[in-house]
Homo-oligomer: A and B are copies of this chain.
Amino acid sequence: MLGVLGGMGPAAGAWFAYRLALLTGVTSDQEHLPVLLVNDPRIPDRSEAALSGGTSPLPAMQERLRFLESSGCECAVIPCNTAHHWFSELQASVKIPLIHIVPAAIAGLRARGIGAGPIGLLGTRATVRSDLYRGELAAAGFTVLPYTQDDVERLCVRPIQAVKQNRVAEAAAALAEAIHTLKGRGAHAVILGCTELPVAFAALAAEDLDLPVVDSIDALAVSALGHFGLVVNRSAAAGSGEPAR
């Protein structure tokens, strides 16, 4: 059984479980991976804690991971990029392996045939300003396009806030604008490095996109399926790192 520490936000945790089901190559219910999802919004805000020293979400996240472990999960994922700032402390709190979202996203770039070059990263303020993605992307031969303060607010924060407030159409329009801007600046691909963004991405028409987009939530689901030796349903693999759309 796969444990999912969700609720950050609630739509993202549930969307991960939904995408995992669609991305699994099966012909009947019984072949799917059993999943236990704790979709708990009571976890303190991750961005606030990472940037300005608000209440730490770590104890609440560790407690729920231990619950997943004691309930029989053999492996766990956290469909929230910002939460990965505490990854080593989270992994230290349980014996079961946690799958890290950044290598999953890099595997997604490679599966789309993108091996190096400038990449656009969209995520929360904490994610795009920190070393969470930069270090691993640099080690893998990629560079992250630089942002001004205004870029962060306009390209990243706007679509994320709209998803969090359930304004999905507005989020999709803001995300389309961000992808076009990053393409104009030379990005070879865009990583959706916030688990709210796939909700907006799903509302975008395929024909609006002319740049490979790696959705970190789909990439994490593909990595989890690989961990359990399950086959990916290629027709459902959109921005997941699978070539078919």
The residues of A with any CB-CB pair to B shorter than 8 Å are 1, 7-11, 13-15, 17-18, 20-22, 24-42, 45, 67, 71, 164-168, 233, 235-236
Task: Give the chain B neighbours of A236 by CB distance below 8 A.
Answer: 166, 168
Per the bound structure, the CA–CA distance linking A36 and B30 in Å amounts to: 21
- Given A34-B41, A166-B236, 15 more A-B residue pairs with CB atoms under 8 Å apart are A7-B29, A7-B34, A10-B20, A10-B21, A14-B35, A17-B18, A22-B166, A24-B166, A25-B166, A26-B166, A28-B164, A31-B41, A32-B41, A35-B40, A36-B36
Say whether, besides A30-B42, A37-B35, A164-B28, A11 and B22 are in contact (CB < 8 Å).
yes
Partner of A233, one of B30, B36, B166: B166
Task: Give the chain B neighbours of A15 by CB distance below 8 A.
Answer: 14, 18
Per the bound structure, the CA–CA distance linking A174 and B116 in Å amounts to: 43
- Stoichiometry (number of copies): 2
Interface centre among A36, A45, A71 (most CB of B within 10 A): A36
Task: Give the chain B neighbours of A13 by CB distance below 8 A.
Answer: 17, 21
Task: Give the chain B neighbours of A18 by CB distance below 8 A.
Answer: 11, 14-15, 17-18
